[in-house]
Amino acid sequence: MSSERYSRQILFAPIGRQGQERLARGGVVIVGCGALGTVQASLVARAGVGRLRLVDRDYVEESNLQRQFLFDEEDAARRLPKAVAAERKLRSVNSEIQIEGVVADLTARNAEELVRGFNLILDGTDNFETRYLLNDLSLKLRIPWIYGAVVGSQGVTMTVLPGRTACLACVLPKPPQGAQETCDTVGVIGSAAAWTASLEATEALKILLGRENELHGTLLSYDIWKNRGQRIRPQRDAECRACGQEDFAYLRDAASHPTVLCGRNAVQIRPAEPRALDLAELRKRLEAVGSVRGNEYLLQCRLEPCEMTVFADGRAIFKGTDQESVARGLYARYIGS
C-alpha cells in the first residue's frame, strides 16, 4: 500500500493509518454504473478499498456523459459496456486494488453469486424492482447495503444494517404507485447525483472502518437546486415482510420479466434461461436485415421501430419503445424464444 497515495486521507483522524489498512481489506459491490454508481466507484476506488466489483447491464451512450463521471466520448462511440469502461478507468486511477467489471443484469438467479463474500452493497440502480431485490439479498446474507436514488435535482439515501435498522421494505412496503417523476420526464443534473453518491460512499467508508455509530441513521433527502432537505428516522417494523418475517419474495422470483429502462424509452428482454450467444454467428444473421455494429461484448442493429442491442449473455435492449410486447416480438423473431 502506497502511503503517499493515501497520505491526506491518513491524516484524517477518523481513518488514520490503521483505518487505511482496514479499508484495504474491505470489499464493496456496486450494482449499477450510472450517475450514482460511477461516482461511488470513483470515490471508493480512490479511497483504497481493496476489492471492488461493478455490476451493470448497460452500455455507454452520449447522453450519459453529462452525469456519469467515469465515461468519455470514446466509450460512447464504441458502445462499451459500462462495467467494462468503468473497470478500465478505475484501473488507471488505482492499480493497487482489485477491480472487476461484470456485464450482467442482477436478478434473483445470480444475485447471491455476485454479492457473496463482499462486505457491503452500494445501490447505483434506477428501479425499485432491483432495489427490493438488493434489500432481500442484504437481509438474507447479513450484508449492509446503502440505498440511493436521484431524479431532477433531488437525491435520497438510506443505510440498511440487517437486523439493526429499518430496511427499505419497512419504509416502502410496496413500490410507489401511479405516475412517478423519472429522469425521462423531468431530467436530472449531475450535481444531484454526485451529492447522493458522495453520501453513499461516505456511509460505506464508515461501515468498512467499523464506525457505525457515526452513520446518519435516517432516510435523508436533499434538493440541491432548491437548497432544502428532509431527514426521517425510520423505525423497524416487526411486521415487515422482509426484515420482520424474513419473506424474501424478490429472491424467489427467478422468472424472466421484461424491464422498462428508466429514462431510455427502452425495454430489456432477458432469456428464460441463461444462454451464451455466439456474437459472430449472430452478426452474420443480422447483417441480412441491416447494418450491424458492435464489439466483443455486444451487437447493435436497427430493427424497425427499434434499435436492438444484444449482449453475449442473451440479453437484449430495444431502444425506441416502452411496449414489452414489441420488444418480446422482436427478440423472438431475431434471436429466438
Q: Would you please indicate which residues are annotated as catalytic (active-site) residues? A: 183
**Total residues belonging to the chain:** 337
Q: Smallest Cα–Cα separation from 318: which of 336, 306, 334?
A: 306
d(CA 163, CA 308): 43
Q: Smallest Cα–Cα separation from 130: which of 158, 103, 149?
A: 149
Q: Report H helices in the chain.
A: 7-11, 16-24, 35-47, 73-78, 82-93, 111-115, 128-141, 168-171, 183-186, 190-208, 249-252, 279-286, 324-334
d(CA 252, CA 231): 33
Which single residue is written with the C-alpha cell 432516510? Answer: 219
Q: Smallest Cα–Cα separation from 136: which of 243, 57, 239?
A: 243
Cβ of 113: how many Cβ atoms within 10 Å?
10
Reading the block at residue 234, the C-alpha cell is: 425510520
Q: Smallest Cα–Cα separation from 297: which of 314, 274, 319, 272?
A: 314
- Cβ atoms 168, 208 nearer than 8 A: no
User: Using CA of residue 128, residue 130, residue 136, residue 141, what is the dihedral sign?
Assistant: negative
DSSP-derived pairing of the beta strands 228-232 and 266-269: unpaired
**For residue 176, what is the DSSP state?**
P
Q: Smallest Cα–Cα separation from 313: which of 83, 100, 60?
A: 83
Q: What is the dihedral of CA 66, 63, 53, 205, to 10 degrees?
A: 20
Which single residue is written with the C-alpha cell 459472430? Answer: 280
User: Distances from the Cα of 314 to the Cαs of 106, 229, 271, 327, 337, in angstroms?
Assistant: 14, 42, 6, 14, 11
